[in-house]
Amino acid sequence: MENNNKLIVYYTYTGHTKIIAEYIQKKLNCDILELKPVIPYSTDYQKVVDEEQNNSSSNETLELKKINVDLSKYEEIIIGSPVWWYTITPVIRTFLKENDLSNKKIIPFATNAGWLGHTFEEIKKLCPNSNVENEMNIVFTTNYEENKLVTSKKEIDNWIENI
């Protein structure tokens, strides 16, 4: 059964968020959109860490590649973001600031190594006219190259069933 009223919107840096977004898409059979910055982040992880830490990424936005999706046709937007400095990435922040998601159900998930911080609070603040609910914190091991989930598949499956 196709789920035409749901859209997954995500950004991935190490690939963890993409793994989860594609898993959700397979389970729900809905549309998916990967956001990408016009100027990609360095592939040098430590360089990105240093830059983002110095930018204190809490208010930074950047230019995104054009999206060819009509957001108005979706009732529910599942938003996936890695956690950078205890909050969403600048890519997700830009998307939320530039697109009016009023009166939509926003279902956020965050991939991280255990430091969720104020990620979901920021999404709620950026979507004041949306119903933000059913948040899911998805934890991977601290070694980002391992792609090893700490959050159980069962927890993720239960969460997806409630979307």
Q: How far is the C-alpha of 51 from the C-alpha of 48, rounded, in Å?
A: 5
Return the CATH superfamily for domain 3-161.
Flavodoxin domain (3.40.50.360)
pLDDT at 53: 67
The position carrying tokens 């934890």 is 139
Distance of CA 26 to the CA centre of its chain: 17
pLDDT at 96: 97
Q: How far is the C-alpha of 115 from the C-alpha of 140, rounded, in Å?
A: 11
pLDDT at 56: 54
List the domain boundaries for the chain: 3-161
22 within 8 A of 54, measured Cβ to Cβ: no
pLDDT at 50: 74
pLDDT at 42: 86
Give me the tens of pLDDT residue by residue for the chain, a chain 163 residues long. Answer: 557 799 999 999 989 999 999 999 999 999 999 999 999 988 887 788 777 766 655 577 789 999 999 999 999 999 999 999 889 999 999 999 999 999 999 999 999 998 899 999 999 999 999 999 999 999 998 776 677 999 999 999 999 999 9
pLDDT at 115: 87
